[in-house]
Structure 1
Amino acid sequence: MKTHLIKNTTHQMKILLVTRNLPPLIGGMERLNWHIGDELSLKNEVLILSHTKAKRLSPKECSFFGAPLNPLAIFLIFAFIKTFFICLKHKPDVIFAGSGLTAPIVVFWAKIFRKKSIVYIHGLDIATNHPIYNRIWIPMIRSADKVVANSTPTQDICLHKGVSYNKLTIIHPGVTFPPIEKDQTLINYIKNKYDLNNKKILISVGRLTARKGILEFVDYSLPTIIQSCPETILVIIGDTPIHSLNKNLQSKESIISMAEKYAIQSNILFVGNISDDSLLSAWYYLADINVFPVKHIPEDPEGFGMVAIEAATYGTPSIAFSTGGITDAIQNNESGILIEAGNYKKFSEAVINELTNSSSITALKCQEFSKKFSWKNLGKNLNDLL
């Protein structure tokens, strides 16, 4: 991650970002919050309160304050107390919650110190039906001065949960654009290492949660795809998250067990989590299709689908179920193909068609679509909101 070295000091505000989601934790929310801090620090003074392990990787232009990562209750207690002292000493103009998790802390102290509060909402932040969360967190989210939704469907859920339309705005997560240049030497090395020459490559990037639907994809789609295209390899980049608040998880073992049922385990390659951006970019360039078989789970929606934007940045189309914020992250027939949620037959057919026929979805079309989601645009939208 690259930190900006020049700061524009005009109209500078002091912003406190409170979030548990920062690297080295892995996921879209973690990358997003890192870039929120980084982009805002271009024109503002930014203070970040997060878990102590995040200090080493936090944006260099931001002042950092730490709290224990685990257990969750201890993080929230420490974050609550530290926010008080930071407000007392540093007097931020705006207190920003990087997700719904820290909304009560941000909104409470913003009201006490008469500051502005902003809460960035992801799908699960607002859709959950947990009784305690609905009793405490949702009212605090409603009380924020501004609520930022990560997609149109997330905004719709916010409205359903009683968030005022006048408080809402949509600011999509972003990607690094232009992308890292293609490293053919690294790509060739990967091909040789994993014996991928002359193979059709499907990739899945993300944490192994029930919502991501990889187990079901292996059960309902992959056997059909391999029957038509025996040279197909599904590359799974990611792992079961150990620090996730979402406990509906899948595992490498369960996916392998499912593959063994159809004798296709040799067509699946697990490479684990990848934190090296250059290595991840090589996989995106190498892939023929990014498969995104996210399940439609009303109480656990896909808030946006940043992986689809990342894939498009490298010219790789996505095939996905049309559910949640994915409808914002994929332009149908431009950066990928959207399939009716749960229709694995059509999903399989779409993948096979892309692998065997000349596609109208070009790398250029994908990149043109992804360009508007650059982190630079995220920063502009956030500063406009401020």
Structure 2
Amino acid sequence: MTEILCVTHKYPPHIGGMERQSYELIKGLEKYYTVHKIAYEDNENKLLWFQSLKSKIQQKLKEHPGIKLIHLNDGSMGAACLWLQKYTHVPVLVTYHGLDITFPLDLYQHKIISRLTAYDGAICVSDSTRQECLDRGFREESTFTVRNGVDHSIADRSFDARIVDKLKEKQGVDVAGKNVLVTIGRSVKRKGFSWFIKNVMPLLPENVVFLMIGSLKQEMPVAEKVLSSLSSTMHNKIQLMLGVESDSQDILEQLALHPNVHHLGNVPYTDLLDLTAMSDLFVMPNIVVPGDIEGFGLVALEASMCGTFVLASELKGITDAVIDGHNGYLLPSGKAQAWADKIIELFNDKPRLRQLSQQGREYTRTHYSWEIMAEGYREVFDRFM
């Protein structure tokens, strides 16, 4: 089989959407190619890993002279490997996820992006991300969209109803007889979590409970305290670069004011799936944050596979995952009354909501899979070999 090299710094055992996408992509590509891999793992300092990356790639190319294509799994990998453009005649393709194109640092936008366009090809996880690339000078004929997939086994697993008792025992949260909303993600501004608590929850009936799953810093980190002394513009840019949980403090303030809102922190993956399946609606209330976009909406697909209907903001890459009227409804970002009205409407008609949830799961199963994603990459790769 044709040999290719995949290079990624997002890979298990680290947990996250990009890590899962990278793992599933490499596994899927192994059906079509002999795949050589360079991936960051737990036992290395990440800075040292990046410093040694050039020698790692050079060594891999020396050991396997038959490699016909190199794939870099995000824009930061592309920036770190610009030297490849002069080092090898092997085609190099880069995947872009959103923020790795829109990151609002002048040096990055004006100096780095123009060099990223010189790679042989670009693969974007959504049409929105592709358009961001085209707006920055990427060539239309070599810039493609291949959407992320989702694990179908999520839909086939048995839901453990004991999660309701476990939630009460371990977290002190009683959802019996309640209408339950759930969301998943890091506490960053673009996710819209604090906005939702502050603006939508007061418009909902008292029997609605909102569960949040993901990391949440209980205290402001030292680095964040230092950043807070900078101008708001520079503060926001550095937050994006470092992946700071920029919404944590606002969420904590809102939690103290709303007894029906509970942040569960990080939970085991099986519990996460059971909590999602147990909930009535999954919400993804993203808001507009300049320079920061949701490149896709993998958590929405996973919620849909759990059999939970999705409400999401009609923004950027989210619309490539949530297809209005099929596996969810798209709502106007930042419009609290529209969100509240739709939630109340669905909670008032549970038979319809159950039907929508089932239809949504089948739509997602049919249109999204890791196999479909890997096949999309194969079709693009074969254009260059």
Partner residue, 2:96: 121
Judge conservation of contact 2:255–2:262 (CA < 8 Å) in 1. Answer: no
Judge conservation of contact 1:330–1:337 (CA < 8 Å) in 2. Answer: yes
**Which of 60, 67, 75 lines up with 1:100 in the alignment?**
75
Judge conservation of contact 1:312–1:366 (CA < 8 Å) in 2. Answer: yes
Q: Does the alignment pair 1:304 with 2:283?
A: no
Judge conservation of contact 1:180–1:281 (CA < 8 Å) in 2. Answer: no
**Which of 2, 20, 35 lines up with 2:9 in the alignment?**
20
- Structural RMSD (CA): 2.3
Partner residue, 1:177: 152
Deviations 1:317-344 (A, max 9, x none): 1111111111111111221111122212
Partners of 2:212 and 2:370 lie apart in 1 by 26
Q: Which moved more, 1:109-118 or 1:170-179?
A: 109-118
Partners of 2:105 and 2:20 lie apart in 1 by 26
**Which of 41, 56, 61 lines up with 1:82 in the alignment?**
56
| Residue type at the aligned position of 1:128 | F
- Once the two structures are TM-superposed, the CA of residue 283 in structure 1 deviates from its matched residue by 1.6
| Residue type at the aligned position of 1:161 | R
Q: Does the alignment pair 1:68 with 2:68?
A: no
Judge conservation of contact 1:236–1:271 (CA < 8 Å) in 2. Answer: yes
Partner residue, 1:63: none
Partners of 2:41 and 2:302 lie apart in 1 by 28
**Which of 349, 354, 363 lines up with 2:357 in the alignment?**
363
| Residue type at the aligned position of 2:17 | G
Deviations 1:241-262 (A, max 9, x none): 89984445235553131233xx
**Which of 213, 221, 225 lines up with 1:237 in the alignment?**
213
| Residue type at the aligned position of 2:346 | E
Residue aligned with 1:272, SS: coil
Q: Does the alignment pair 1:385 with 2:360?
A: no
Partner residue, 1:250: 246
Q: Does the alignment pair 1:143 with 2:118?
A: yes
- Change over 3 Å in CA distance of 1:117–1:102 after alignment to 2: same
Partner residue, 2:228: none
User: In percent, how many aligned pairs have the same letter?
Assistant: 23
Partner residue, 1:7: none
TM-score by length of 2: 0.85
- Change over 3 Å in CA distance of 1:273–1:111 after alignment to 2: farther
Q: Which moved more, 1:77-86 or 1:240-249?
A: 240-249
Deviations 1:28-71 (A, max 9, x none): 11111111111112232222223231x7xxxxxxxxxxx532x4
Q: Does the alignment pair 1:269 with 2:265?
A: no
Judge conservation of contact 2:164–2:174 (CA < 8 Å) in 1. Answer: no
**Which of 344, 348, 363 lines up with 1:352 in the alignment?**
344
Partner residue, 2:313: 321
TM-score by length of 1: 0.84
- Change over 3 Å in CA distance of 1:255–1:364 after alignment to 2: same
Residue aligned with 2:291, SS: coil
Residue aligned with 1:169, SS: strand
**Which of 155, 164, 174 lines up with 1:195 in the alignment?**
174
| Residue type at the aligned position of 2:305 | T
- Once the two structures are TM-superposed, the CA of residue 105 in structure 1 deviates from its matched residue by 4.0
Deviations 1:199-228 (A, max 9, x none): 211111111111111011111111212xx2
Judge conservation of contact 1:182–1:285 (CA < 8 Å) in 2. Answer: no
Partner residue, 2:183: 204
- Once the two structures are TM-superposed, the CA of residue 113 in structure 1 deviates from its matched residue by 2.0
| Residue type at the aligned position of 1:294 | N
- Change over 3 Å in CA distance of 1:186–1:81 after alignment to 2: farther
Work out the number of aligned pairs and report it.
353
Judge conservation of contact 2:188–2:248 (CA < 8 Å) in 1. Answer: no
- Change over 3 Å in CA distance of 1:324–1:275 after alignment to 2: farther
Which residues of structure 2 form unaligned runs of 5+?
222-238
Which residues of structure 1 form unaligned runs of 5+?
1-11, 56-66
- Change over 3 Å in CA distance of 1:350–1:246 after alignment to 2: farther
- Once the two structures are TM-superposed, the CA of residue 240 in structure 1 deviates from its matched residue by 4.2
| Residue type at the aligned position of 1:328 | D
Deviations 1:276-303 (A, max 9, x none): 2x32221221011111011122411111
- Once the two structures are TM-superposed, the CA of residue 348 in structure 1 deviates from its matched residue by 1.6
**Which of 247, 259, 264 lines up with 2:255 in the alignment?**
259
- Change over 3 Å in CA distance of 1:163–1:105 after alignment to 2: same
Residue aligned with 1:184, SS: coil
**Which of 24, 30, 54 lines up with 1:41 in the alignment?**
30
| Residue type at the aligned position of 1:104 | A
- Once the two structures are TM-superposed, the CA of residue 96 in structure 1 deviates from its matched residue by 0.8
Partners of 1:158 and 1:304 lie apart in 2 by 15
**Which of 370, 377, 384 lines up with 1:375 in the alignment?**
370
- Change over 3 Å in CA distance of 1:271–1:180 after alignment to 2: farther
Judge conservation of contact 2:313–2:332 (CA < 8 Å) in 1. Answer: yes
- Change over 3 Å in CA distance of 1:245–1:19 after alignment to 2: farther
Judge conservation of contact 1:288–1:316 (CA < 8 Å) in 2. Answer: yes
Partners of 1:185 and 1:151 lie apart in 2 by 35
- Change over 3 Å in CA distance of 1:257–1:308 after alignment to 2: same
Judge conservation of contact 1:107–1:117 (CA < 8 Å) in 2. Answer: no
- Change over 3 Å in CA distance of 1:157–1:368 after alignment to 2: same
Partners of 2:374 and 2:186 lie apart in 1 by 26
Partners of 2:379 and 2:117 lie apart in 1 by 21
Residue aligned with 1:203, SS: strand
Q: Which moved more, 1:195-204 or 1:234-243?
A: 234-243
